[in-house]
Amino acid sequence: MFITLEGVDGSGKSTQAALLAEALGPDTVSIREPGGTAAAERIREILADPETPLDPLAEMLLFLAARSDLVASVIRPALESGRTVVSDRFTDSTVAYQGFVRRLGPDRVRELNAAATGDLVPDLTLLIEVDPEDALARATDGGRFEAEGLEFQRRVADAYREIAGRETDRIIVIDGHGTTEEVHDRIMAAISGRTGS
């Protein structure tokens, strides 16, 4: 089973991804994007650095290059050996940030995602929704996108809502307000509702 978590910067999804992986047991493979392989971590350094200017198309291709390597060398082998994989961000991040907000076009990004992942689609995606203003206040690592400000975060949040509305079977919207435990409980309830376990 392949589960991804999505949301704006500072939505708390990284904390929730870690708690979820722990709850699912020691056999769970936990990853975060971009990263997770030697090459993808090096690509992450470029993407994370607000001082390195990047054309939007080049930026997207770097995210996809990192993802392609991660899928081939970590995600697919883990899924093939029957393990559950939890990823902090995946293809929907690129559709939201590069497709909608950077205006490269969601359909074009979906196609390129399919090429980069060999058509791998998560079984379940949890979209953690919080007020973009609160999220921005919590996002403190000063990365390329956080420097873009509130208007940018709002556009990302709108993009995610649109993405979720198109794929209601795969994407569950989780209310990200409240304590860490409350949000975790909502996630666990959503997963058991979906998997029947």
Contacts of residue 109, defined as CB under 8 A and 6 or more positions apart, other chains included, come to 60, 94, 95, 98, 99
Work out which of 4, 93, 117, 153 binds ligand TYD, going by CB under 6 A. 93
Are the C-beta atoms of 39 and 66 separated by less than 8 Å? Answer: yes
Instruction: Starting at the earlier edge strand, list the strands of the sheet with 124-129.
Output: 29-32, 85-88, 2-6, 124-129, 171-175
> Is 155 among the residues that bind ligand TYD (CB under 6 A)?
no
Closer to ligand TYD by CB, 84 or 94: give it.
Answer: 94
Q: Is the peptide bond before 34 cis (omega within 30 degrees of 0)?
A: yes
Work out which of 6, 43, 63, 71 binds ligand TYD, going by CB under 6 A. 63
Scanning 22-30, 68-76, 89-97, 189-197 for contacts with ligand TYD by CB under 6 A, the matching segment is 89-97
> Is 160 among the residues that bind ligand TYD (CB under 6 A)?
no
Binding site for ligand TYD (CB under 6 A): 9, 14, 33-34, 63, 89, 93-94, 97-98, 141, 143, 145
